[in-house]
Every structure is written in structure tokens, then in C-alpha cells.
Structure 1
Amino acid sequence: MPKEMKKLILEKNISCGAKLLLSGGERCNVTNSDIDFERDYVGQNIKSLPSIFHKFDNQDMLQFLHQHGIETVVETHGRVMLKSGKARQLLNLLLKLADENNVEIKNEQHVESVKEEKGEFKIETNDAEYACKKLIIATGGKSYPQVGATSFVYDIAQQFDISCFSPYPCLCGIETVQDMSGVT
């Protein structure tokens, strides 16, 4: 039997899931019921999206949640929310599954540098140094600095010659005032 791979999450915040807990106004917008790539996404690589989502799509997400006893409801515009209205329910499940799968989580780890040397990645944090052969960087972008989001992922991508599109605001809710119709 092959040796189990060590899995480590370096979390910048005091605990995991800060952005998840805020999603959907703290009610957790987990997916959409109706995804139409042509209608819902902008960018130059729309045609590649179906192949990306083929391995785990919105229906797979719903099945995963239901297998773990988490009920969902579909709201306006196809938003799928947790029926409980509590994002913490999903975070608790993810943390439980991480623990069951021997994923070590180290909080308050600010990654200061990532280097590749002789087929290994060297990660230096404010607290320690780590080495690994495989590295996944999942930062969530820089859209919400209040939960620790920064441009770090773009800096790392540039360092490793990975092309990225410049980020721009999208998918943000805008509330309008009906009484202002016609006012200039």
C-alpha cells in the first residue's frame, strides 16, 4: 500500500473559513441551480469552462451536501443556499472531513515567500519553513481584504511565469432605489 501523502493547509487568518462564513450574507450561497456559461460568465476563455467544471459541477456539489445531511433551497436567480441559513454548518463539515482525512491545518501562517528548488517548493511563513513536492495555492483572490484577501496569488503567479488576467470587480450585488427612476 502506498504511503499516505501528508496534507497541510497554511491559513493566514486566525481560523479557516472567514470568507465562507460571509458568503450569501452569512447564509452560504453554495452554487447556482442553473449554470449557463455563455450567459453567466465573461472573459476570453468561456469555451474552456465546461471542461473545467466537468470533474465537479454544481450537481456534484448538491449531491455532496445531501450525502452529508446538509439540505439546500433554491432562491431567486437560481442561488442555492443552505436551508439552515448558517454558513457555519458547511464550514464545520469541511473541517470535520479535513480532520478525518488527516489534513493538518496551521492558522495564522502568513506566507512570505514561495521558491522552487530542485523539484521541491520551499514555503516560508512568519512562523516556520515548509517543503513539499506538490503545492496548491488557493487564496480566494483579493476581493475582500477584510477577511485577509490580498494580491499574493498574483505575485506568486508572476514569479512562476503563470499568466493571469488582471482582476476586476464582478458578481457584486447592487441595490437600487426605485424612487430615483428618471433622476439625473
Structure 2
Amino acid sequence: MPENLYDAIIIGAGPAGLFCAITCSKDKNHRVLVLEKMNTAGRKLLLSGSGSCNITHSGSIKSFVQKYGNNGSFLRHAFAAFSNNDLIEYLNNNGINTIEADNGKIFPESMKAGEILDLLLRKCNESGVEIMYGHKVHEILRDKGSFRVRASGKTFLSRYCVITTGGLSYPGTGSDGDGFRFSGDQGHTITELTPALTPVKTSTTIDALTPGSKPIPELSGITIKNASVTLNRNNRKFVTYTGDLLFTHDGLSGPVILDMSRYINPGDTLFVSFIHSSYESFEEEFILKSRNEGKRMVKNLLQSSGVPERIVQMILDLSRIPHDKKSSEINREERKKLVSLLRDCPFTVTSKDGFNVAMATHGGISLEEINMRTMESKLAPGLFFAGEVMDIDGDTGGYNLQAAFSTGKLAGDTIYRKFR
């Protein structure tokens, strides 16, 4: 075979690309090339879980597909081909023990992402996969049933081509959107691209509502466990998520915000509930406590219900209730306002943090143009996709890495069958 002629070329040396390469070269009888623009592989993988590599999550396939917004059903076949349990078994069989955290997140026992990357590179080497670093792909052309790939002044030919270049998040790792351009050149539609798994900045509307109230920055560092957050747009309820909420110096973060950030736009209002009971039941509880403990200050009564002190101070300011007011002195109007804000406190979104901060990209290659059973393009036979370059983004907790491995495996299996 000529030097630059390959059976399959994979563009991008992240987990999706490397695992695809390992899968389609398992009998070592075919030439498989991975082209990587950076001088090392797996840069984004090394950042996952702050370096500890939250590789996947526990749970059934049914529960998994619910973690990808509206597009989870597309991944059913990929998860059937290579599930979270399959990934754990693969790692265990190759000397990497895993541990499960209380929240269901799965990590390598070493808590080191580098261990996962080392395994993938070792398996590539054992399978005869060639990896060329510092090779930036400029163009992919289809020519009489094969692909001509131009990279760093060289031309490579291949029967099959797989785009695994990731999205736009963490561009310093090499994810700068090249894959979208290559896919568009082959006739594919790219859906709107926005940051996902990212914090949001909120305006200080709380200050504007009540002169002298506590500014948002004073809430920085507060965590609300299992908070309910509802996204409203144009005065209509859009979606509600539940999870841990973190106040930052300029807005909101935490798993609940990261997971719903795929839907959030500037101008939206986020209604945060600081209590777990309904409006009616909490009001009844408050009335009862006020009768029985009327001499207690309102702020102490609320704190005894589990609301953090600084949140209580903010809610009192919004309700125009003095901090030293006794619970027996609260009138009906004040009580209604107080309970309403505890149940649905509004924060207006001014912006989402950008792709430099976002852990994933919402949007990508339209899934309608990809065969979900094979990961092959419906428009360009022989062209495949895997990972974040597609219009798939999962919740925080290992779901995006699992999707990368599963789609990479499915694409690799399909190519391997075509080899035969």
C-alpha cells in the first residue's frame, strides 16, 4: 500500500477518536491513521473532572438517554453497543480499577485522567494505529468513493474518514470548530452552537428592586442542596431542573445550572426555590410557627427551616421586612411576599460564560443527517462522526465522556465490518 494510503483516517485524538481507531484496527490487518493538530493527544480528556476523570456514570441505558436534553434517544444504539458497564469492564480488564462516588459518578481509582489516556495510547500502539501529531487538517475531499485529506502540506487517501474533532469548548485544547467546517463542506447542516455545562451571569435585579438590599456578590459561595430552578422565557415556564446550586461572585453555577445551561439565553429569568415544600404547605408551617414562637425574629425562624442566613437577609430585604422584626408582627401581605420569594426568587440572566469556560458545546452536526445505528453520514457514504462534534451534549457527571466512547466504538465497529 502506498505510504499515504490508509483504510481509515480519524481526525482528532480525543477519547472518541482514539477509541474508534482502536476498535476498527483490532485485527491489525488494516492501516488506520489518526491526525491530531496539537502536539499531544487527549488534552481535553486530561481536564475532565478537574484532572480526576469522571469517566462515566452508574445507571441504566434508559436513565442515560434522559441526560442529553432532547437528543438522548439518538444514542440508544451507541449505548447498546457499548454501555457504561461495558466501559467499566473494559477499563478493569486493562488494569484500571474504578470507583463509584455516592452521587453515581465513576472515576478511575487513581483519580488520574492521565491513566485513561495512557491506556488508549497503549492500545493504539498495540493495534498498529498510526498517530501523527502537529498535523492540522485543512480540507477533506470525496473522490470516487474515497477521501482525500489535506493536512500540514501532505495529502492522505482513505476509504473511510471519521470526524472526531469535538466542539468549541476549551479551544486551547484544539477544539476550535474545524470539524464543523469539514462537515459543512460535505453538505451537512450545523445547528446553532452555544456554550453548555457553563455557569451563568445574573443581573443585580435584587438591588434594583429594593434600595439598600444585599448585593448578589455577598451570596458568593453559598450552596443550596437539591434546589429547584425554573427557566422562564417571555413569561412562560420553559424547563425545571433540580440539583445543587452554587452562588458565584457574578451569578449562578453548580450542577443544576450547568445541566440546564444548554437551554438558557440572556434575558431569561431563573426562579430559584430555597425551600423544598410547596408554597401552601410552607405558608401553613410559617403561620403555625409564628403563632407558637411569636417572639422569635423572622430571620431566626427562617434559618431554623434550613434557609442559609445570607439568603434570609436577601429575602427580608426584598420583602421590605426589617431584620429585627418578630414573627408575630408579620402581616398577611408581608408573609405572602416572603413565602413567594422563598419559593420562587427571580434572577435575570445577563450572559452565559463562553466556550473558554464551558465544558461542552450545545449544537453540532444535525443528527437527522447521521445514521444512529452506525454513526455514518447519510449524505456522504464512508464519512463517520463520533463525540461532541455531533449535536449531542450531556449533563455533568461523566455523560459526555460515555457518549464519546460509545459513539467512537459504534463508528469503529461499523468500519471494521466494512473492512471485512
Q: Counterpart of 1:20 in structure 2: which amino acid?
A: L
Counterpart of 1:82 (choices 105, 108, 128) is: 108
Q: Residue in 2 aligned with 1:9?
A: 34
Secondary structure of 1:133's counterpart equals strand
Q: Residue in 1 aligned with 2:69?
A: 42
Q: Distance in 2 between matches of 1:103 and 1:33?
A: 31
Higher mean C-alpha deviation, range 139-148 or range 57-66 = 139-148
Instruction: Check whether the contact 1:37–1:49 (CA below 8 A) recurs between aligned residues.
Output: no
Q: Distance in 1 between matches of 2:66 and 2:310?
A: 28
Counterpart of 1:176 (choices 247, 254, 257) is: 247
Q: Counterpart of 1:49 in structure 2: which amino acid?
A: L
Q: Counterpart of 2:43 in structure 1: which amino acid?
A: A
Unaligned runs of 5+ in 1: none
Indicate the percent of aligned positions where both proteins have the same amino acid: 30
Inter-CA distance 54–172: structure 2 relative to 1 (3 Å threshold): farther
Q: Which has the higher helix share?
A: 2
Deviations 1:91-136 (A, max 9, x none): 1111111000000110001101111111111111114211101011
Q: Counterpart of 1:119 in structure 2: which amino acid?
A: G
Q: Residue in 1 aligned with 2:263?
A: none
Q: 1:171 deviation in Å?
A: 3.0
Instruction: Check whether the contact 1:29–1:79 (CA below 8 A) recurs between aligned residues.
Output: yes
- The CA RMSD measured in Å over matched residues stands at 2.3
Inter-CA distance 77–106: structure 2 relative to 1 (3 Å threshold): same
TM-score by length of 2: 0.41
1:120 aligns with 2:146: yes
Q: Residue in 1 aligned with 2:50?
A: 25
Inter-CA distance 154–60: structure 2 relative to 1 (3 Å threshold): same
Higher mean C-alpha deviation, range 45-54 or range 95-104 = 45-54
Q: Distance in 1 between matches of 2:154 and 2:246?
A: 45
Q: Counterpart of 1:166 in structure 2: which amino acid?
A: E
TM-score by length of 1: 0.88
Q: Residue in 1 aligned with 2:160?
A: 134
The structure having more radius of gyration, on CA atoms, is 2
Secondary structure of 1:25's counterpart equals helix
Counterpart of 1:105 (choices 127, 131, 146) is: 131
Q: Which has the higher strand share?
A: 2
Number of residue pairs the alignment of both structures matches: 182
1:91 aligns with 2:117: yes
Q: Residue in 2 aligned with 1:151?
A: 177
Q: Distance in 2 between matches of 1:18 and 1:179?
A: 41
Unaligned runs of 5+ in 2: 1-26, 200-244, 249-307, 316-346, 348-420
Q: Distance in 2 between matches of 1:163 and 1:127?
A: 28
Counterpart of 1:51 (choices 73, 77, 80) is: 77
Inter-CA distance 119–83: structure 2 relative to 1 (3 Å threshold): same
Q: 1:75 deviation in Å?
A: 2.0
Deviations 1:35-74 (A, max 9, x none): 524542212x333322231101111100000001101111
Q: Distance in 1 between matches of 2:158 and 2:132?
A: 15
Instruction: Check whether the contact 1:122–1:129 (CA below 8 A) recurs between aligned residues.
Output: yes
Q: Counterpart of 1:95 in structure 2: which amino acid?
A: L
Q: Counterpart of 1:48 in structure 2: which amino acid?
A: F
Instruction: Check whether the contact 2:147–2:159 (CA below 8 A) recurs between aligned residues.
Output: yes
Counterpart of 1:68 (choices 94, 98, 110) is: 94
Q: Counterpart of 2:59 in structure 1: which amino acid?
A: D
Q: Distance in 2 between matches of 1:22 and 1:179?
A: 35
Higher mean C-alpha deviation, range 45-54 or range 58-67 = 45-54
Deviations 1:12-40 (A, max 9, x none): 11111111111110111111112524542
Higher mean C-alpha deviation, range 3-12 or range 24-33 = 3-12
Q: Counterpart of 1:6 in structure 2: which amino acid?
A: R
